[in-house]
Amino acid sequence: MSGTTTPSPRGRGQRSRGASVALHTALVIASLIALFPVLFIVFVSLRGRDGWQEPTKFTGFDLSNYTHILGETKFLTWFGNSVVVALGATVVGVLIAATAGYAVSRMRFPGQRPLMWTFLVVQMFPMAVLIVPLYTILGRLELLDTHAGLILTYCSVSVPFCAWMLKGYFDSIPAEIDEAGRVDGLTPFGTFWRLILPLARPGLAVTGFYSFITAWGEVAFASQFMSSEEHYTLAVGLQTFVGQQKAEWGLMTAAAVLITVPAGLVFFVAQRHLVAGLTAGGTKG
């Protein structure tokens, strides 16, 4: 608290012992609820194929679930598929959306408001609107069950999303920089390319990361469009562990851990910027 010079008996930031205990209790309980499922899954994954049937015992730790999914299932293939598809959708999304995000942020032009409105509306599209038409279109183009088909499908989400997010980032870069560029004789595109884009690098990274995560966790399209086991993404492959006939929860938990750890690490680096981007885009729309 800067600027509080008048000392009061109990100013802001100080509280009674009881309040302090209550505060910490609430936070600890909330943290436990947040933490428990994650720890539990890690715990189960370390207890062998059938360890999940005794969730409260602390015996029989081994790594058999991990060795099994890495050695004897298509987990690594699925992992690769997920990376390819999510990365493809993200790269295309960011590349295509960056110029549009800049134009919408900086320039006033006929069609600007409808375009912004479209970006927002597309976020609202339930997948049920597009899934059947896309299914038939991709079928006709013989792109069902291919990476390219799924990347195209995900671009329908990632392109407007990236444009929306990036507009928010460009808005946060002072317009004086553009003016400086213009004074120096740069074209609008030159200003964008040489001055704004380098400044927006963190924004690009976060936008990309967000769209990556969205594609990474997509279930509906992937479950229908990818029909051969070789082409499954993780979200589809994981369903085969615990289907109608099988209940390989041990394998599922090990896969869950392996999926979450890399994504989670990057996530913690990026999360501070994620919300800023989303809400900035929204409030200034």
Minimum separation from the CB atom of position 201 to another protein (A): 19
Minimum separation from the CB atom of position 211 to another protein (A): 14
Place of tokens 């539990």: 40
Minimum separation from the CB atom of position 125 to another protein (A): 6
Beta bridge partners of 47: 62
Q: Report the greatest alpha carbon distance in the chain.
A: 76
- Phi, psi for 50 (deg, rounded to 5): -110, 10
Which residue, 83 or 276, is less far from another protein as judged by CB? 276
Minimum separation from the CB atom of position 245 to another protein (A): 12
Count of other CB atoms within 10 angstroms of residue 245: 5
Measure CA 244 to chain center.
29
Minimum separation from the CB atom of position 44 to another protein (A): 7
Picking from 202, 201, 197, 165, the residue whose alpha carbon sits closest to that of residue 181 is 197
Count of other CB atoms within 10 angstroms of residue 72: 9
Token couple for 113: 């408001």
